[in-house]
């Protein structure tokens, strides 16, 4: 007859816990990195070249409309959404000065950390 030792039980539980944790990390990574499809519309640089804004058109699929997101990318994996609006199909970008940008008639002061939207 097979006798189960405490070491075998411990090893089994560790395997189960590690498997669930790794699966959770994988699914969270998938959901965070691609909540909806996005297409790069334009890239705009501030007059002094300190800021670079990437403007994307988002599309959640057949049952949703298009939206617009503008992001600033920094060192390493830093990413900040400075403009987000839904529904919207096109966006205009105009720099007022070195740190103030107007995206689709919304003024955003990047030096003060301002953002617009929230979707």
Residues 53-77 have pLDDT tens digits of 999 998 877 777 889 999 998 888 8
Contact 31, 48 (CB under 8 A): no
pLDDT at 1 over 70: no
Q: Give all strands (DSSP E) within the chain, no chain letters.
A: 37-45, 52-59, 66-73, 79-85, 93-95, 100-103, 106-109
Nearest in space to 110 (alpha carbons), one of 118, 59, 64, 102: 102
- Span 6-53, pLDDT tens digits: 888 889 999 999 999 999 888 877 666 555 678 899 999 999 988 999
pLDDT on residue 117: 87
Q: What is the pTM of this model?
A: 0.67
Domain positions in the chain are 1-34, 36-109
């Amino acid at each position: 007859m097979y006798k189960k030792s405490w070491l075998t039980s411990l090893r089994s539980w560790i395997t189960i816990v590690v498997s669930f944790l790794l699966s959770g990390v994988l699914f969270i990574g998938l959901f965070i990195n691609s909540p909806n499809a996005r297409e790069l519309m334009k890239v705009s640089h501030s007059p002094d070249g300190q800021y670079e804004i990437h403007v994307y058109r988002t599309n959640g699929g057949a049952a949703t409309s298009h939206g617009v997101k503008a992001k600033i990318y920094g060192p390493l994996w830093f990413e900040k959404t400075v403009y987000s609006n839904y529904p919207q199909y096109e966006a205009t970008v105009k720099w007022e000065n070195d740190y103030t940008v107007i995206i689709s008639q919304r003024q955003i002061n990047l030096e003060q950390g301002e953002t617009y939207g929230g979707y």
